[in-house]
Every structure is written in C-alpha cells, then in structure tokens.
Structure 1
Amino acid sequence: MPRRQHITVWLVLGIIAFLSFWSILSFRHETGRSIDGFTPILQSELSLDDGVLKGEATAAKMENATLKAELGNAAWKVLHTTMAKFPDKPTEEDSQALKSYLHLFARLYPCGECARHFQKLLAKFPPQVTSRSSAAAWACHVHNQVNIRLKKEEFDCSKIGDFYDCGCADDEPVVKMDTFKQLELEKEGLTRGG
C-alpha cells in the first residue's frame, strides 16, 4: 500500500508541474518568447473565465492521513517555492498568471476537503501578487490559516526566506534548511488503507 501512496503523490506533483509549465508557456507566448522551439498554447485556445478558475473542487475526501500529510507537505513546498521564484517586479501578465495558477491549484487539488478549504481562503484572502515579497507573505499567511485549522504551530512569516530558497542566482545568500522542523504525523484513528 505505501508504494501506491507514493505513486499518487508523484502523480499529483506531476500535475502541479504540468500546470506550472503550461502557465509558463502561455506567458512566454504572450510576450513573444518560446521555450526550446516549443510552440506555446495560443491564448485563444484557453478558456480561463471565472467558471474555470473558481469552479467547485470535485475531488473526494482523502481518507488516508499519512498520504494527506505527505501531499500537503509537498504542495506547500511547491507553493512557497513558486512564490520565492515569482518576479520582484511582475508584469500584469505575471500577476494574472499567478492568480490563475492559485485558483486552478485550489480547484484541482486531489484532497477535496483541503481544496474546498483552500478555495474559501482564496475568497477571504485574495492572492497578493504585486511583488515577490507580497506573494511570499500572502502564502505564509494562508499557510498559517491552515495551520490554525489543523491546530498546528503558526510559522513566523518574517523568516519565510530562511526556509524556501528560490534558487534564482548563485550570489544570493545560502538558505538555512537545517532548521526546518520535520513533519510529525499523528494517527487520527483508522483510515481506509491505514
């Protein structure tokens, strides 16, 4: 059973990576650039109205607590790293792409209960996408809202840069990853497969 869980986590991360790559290709096309000769998706082929972006999450509740925690940990790493790589002075297209990505991420997240909660957080705390620091601070705040709901310790958002390195350049300070607290799982009773 653990092998199946890992396959699911990798599948979800693959979907997230695909959506990220797709957003980059769309942006590159709009700015007239392409990536390695790839023909980007034309904007006219996309239908990203509010119904698509903010439609109801359809995934079922994820019953396996261990898999749910692994997925959540990986998802937060993707989101925080995305914020760390977001441009410091984004264009309007950059900002719109990030907003769209976050709404699609929430809608397609494979834990239905988590997805619906994240959608409520997006409605209550709209994504802040005017700069890298505002996006990173927003993501940390939203992550803390989830931590509060899960009765976990809140993170000091002033230290978010110490934990998620954007890997943007060699001249940036080295991030201290050795202080990252290991995820501790608590058993929540019997679950399907657990």
Structure 2
Amino acid sequence: MHFINIATVAALLSLVSATPVADRRHVHGVANADEVYRRSYYAVANADEVSRRAVANADEVHAVANADEVSKRAVANADEVHAVANADEVSRRAVANADEVHAVANADEVSKRAVANADEVHTVANADEVSKRAVANADEVHAVANADEVSRRAVANADEVHAVANADEVSRRAVANADEVHAVANADEVTRRSYYTVY
C-alpha cells in the first residue's frame, strides 16, 4: 500500500503558500497527480479485493456445489444401499416363504400319506376281520352240518334198530305161532290117535 508522508504534505502546503500562482498550480498539478495515482492504486486494490472476493465466492460456490454433489452422491449411494438391502430382504423373505410353502406341502404330503396308511391298515384289518368271520361262519356251518348229519344218522340208526327189533318181534311171534300151531296140531293128532285106539 502507498502512504503519503505528512511532513511532505506540510512542505508542499508551505511551498504552495510561498510560491506564485503558477508554481502553486504546478504543485496542485503534482498533488492532483498524486491523488490520481492514489485513487488508481486504491482502484487497483479494490479490483484486487473484488477479484479476491470473487475468487473466494467462486471457491465457496464450488465448495457448496461440491458439498451438494457429495451429499447427492451420498444420498444416491444410501438409496442404492437401501435398495440392495431391500432386495436382499425381499430375496430372503421369498426364500423363507418358499421354504415355508415346501414345509407346509411336505406336512400335507406326510399327513396325506399317514391317512392313506391308516386307511390301508384299516382295510387290511377289516379284510382280516372279514376273513376271520368267514372262517368262523364256515366252521359254524360245518358244525351245524355235522350235527345235522349226526342227528340224521342217529335217527336212521334208531329207525334201523326199531326195524330190527320189529323184525325180531315178528320172527319171534311167528316162531311162537308156529310152535303153537304145531302144539295144537300135535294135540289134535294125539286126540285123534287116542280116539282110534279106543274104538
């Protein structure tokens, strides 16, 4: 920065008061030139300050712009991270849901097979029961048939025994009748012979 010496200014003023008008005009001209120079210097200084502030403002604007860009990219990155995290969560839930669906399907299949096996066991048990009852019924039918046969044979045997007994009785009675006839005939013969003997 340019400084004006106070002593110099005082000397110039005394010189102006002691010099003629023409000299004083010369002094004013020099003072004016100094003032012009001083103002020019300040103008330059002001321009430098303006330029410096403009640069500073531009740097600040760039810094703000850079900060905005950084913030925007950070937000974009955060959004991208959230999107990836959400996609991972969606994928994980989809896998979990798929596993759950498979588990339910497997449980249904197990339940269905268990019911089918139970039905099959009941069917086999029923078939065994039917077979057992059929055998029991067949045994019962055979027992009844055998009892009927025994009864029939017993009746037949009784009839045969009665018939034999009747035949024996008939034969016995026939023999008795024959004996009686013979006895009567013999008695008649004895009587006849006795009669002829007497006469």
TM-score scaled by length of structure 2: 0.16
1 or 2 for the larger relative contact order (CA 8 Å, sep ≥6)? 1
